[in-house]
Amino acid sequence: MKKWMLFAGMLALITGCDPDDNPDPNGPDNIAEGITPCENGMAGEYPCNGYDLIGNVPLSTFDANSGNDSWGWTDATTGKEYAIMGVNNGTVFVDISNAEDLVYLGKLPTRTETSSWRDVKVYQDHAFIVSEATDHGMQVFDLTKLRDVPNAPATFEADFNYAGFGNAHNVVINEESGYAYAVGTSRNDQFNGGAHFVDISDPKNPVSNNGYGERGYAHDAQVVTYNGPDTEHNGKEIFIGSNENEVVIADVTDKLNPTALSTIAYSNIGYTHQGWFTEDQRYFLLGDELDETQRGFQTRTIIFDLSDLDNPIVHHEHFGTTSAIDHNGYVLGNEFFLASYRAGVRVLDISGIANKDISEIGYFDTYPINDNAAFDGVWNVYPYFASGKIVVSDINRGLFIIQKSN
Q: How many domains does the chain have?
A: 1
Angle at 5 between CA 63 and CA 31, to 5 degrees: 30
pLDDT (0 to 100) of residue 32 = 65
| pLDDT at 28 exceeding the cut of 70 | no
In a domain, 242, yes or no: no
**Beta strands 103-109; 154-155: pairing state:** parallel
Residue 16 has pLDDT above 60, yes or no: no
d(CA 286, CA 20): 31
pLDDT band, residue 180 (cuts 50/70/90)? very high
Which residues lie closer than 8 Å to 200 by C-beta, 6 or more apart?
Answer: 123, 124, 126, 128, 140, 173, 178, 179, 180, 206
Evaluate if residue 200 carries a pLDDT over 70: yes
115 in a structural domain: no
pLDDT category of residue 398 using cuts at 50, 70 and 90: very high
Is pLDDT larger for residue 19 or for residue 106? 106
Q: How confident is the model at residue 2 (pLDDT cuts 50, 70, 90)?
A: very low
Residue 333 domain flag? yes
For residue 23, the 8-state DSSP code is P
pLDDT of residue 392: 98
**Per-residue confidence at 189, pLDDT binned at 50, 70, 90?**
very high
Residue 19 confidence (pLDDT): 38
Q: Average pLDDT of 289-315?
A: 97
What Cα–Cα distance (Å) separates residue 95 from each residue in 105, 333, 401?
Answer: 7, 25, 11
Rounded CA-CA distance 93/12 in Å is: 32
Helix (H) or strand (E) holding 12: helix 8-15
Q: Is residue 343 part of a domain?
A: yes
Under the banding of pLDDT at 50, 70 and 90, the label for residue 34 is confident
pLDDT of residue 7: 37
pLDDT tens per residue, range 150-178: 999 999 999 999 999 999 999 999 999 99
CA torsion sign, 317 to 318 to 323 to 327? negative
Q: Left if phi > 0, otherwise alpha if psi is -120 to 50, otherwise beta: which for 118?
A: beta
Asked, for residue 208, whether it belongs to a domain, the answer is: no
Q: Is this structure's pTM higher than 0.85? A: yes
Q: Which of 224, 226, 198 is nearest to 211 (CA)?
A: 198
Look at residue 128 and tell me whether its pLDDT is greater than 90. yes
SS3 14: helix
Whole-number Å distance between alpha carbons of 324 and 11: 12
How far apart CA 86 and CA 328 sit, in angstroms, is 14
Q: What is the DSSP string of 56-82?
A: EE-GGGGT-S-EEEEEEEE-TTT--EE
- Average pLDDT (116-129) is 98
Measured on CA atoms in the order 188, 290, 288, 393, is the torsion positive or negative?
A: positive
Evaluate whether residue 142 is within a structural domain.
no
Question: Is 265 among the domain residues?
Answer: no
SS3 (DSSP) at 221: strand
| Beta bridge mates, 394 | 378, 398
Instruction: Please give the sequence-ordered ranges of beta strands (E in DSSP) within 271-404, or none if there are none.
Output: 272-277, 283-288, 300-305, 313-319, 329-332, 335-339, 345-352, 357-364, 378-382, 390-394, 398-404
Q: In the structure, what pLDDT confidence band is assigned to residue 15 with cuts at 50, 70 and 90?
A: very low
Average pLDDT, the chain: 93
pLDDT in tens, 57-75: 999 999 999 999 999 999 9
Question: Is 172 part of a structural domain of the chain?
Answer: no
pLDDT, one tens digit per residue, over 332-378 is: 999 999 999 999 999 999 999 999 999 999 999 999 999 999 999 99
Give the CA-trace dihedral at 145, 148, 154, 155, to 10 degrees.
-20
DSSP state of 291: H
Q: What is d(CA 296, CA 291) in angstroms, rounded to the nearest whole number?
A: 7
Determine the pLDDT at residue 30. 63
Q: Which domain holds residue 26?
A: 1-62+320-399
pLDDT of residue 31: 73
Q: Which of 262, 256, 257 is nearest to 241 (CA)?
A: 262
pLDDT at 1 over 70: no
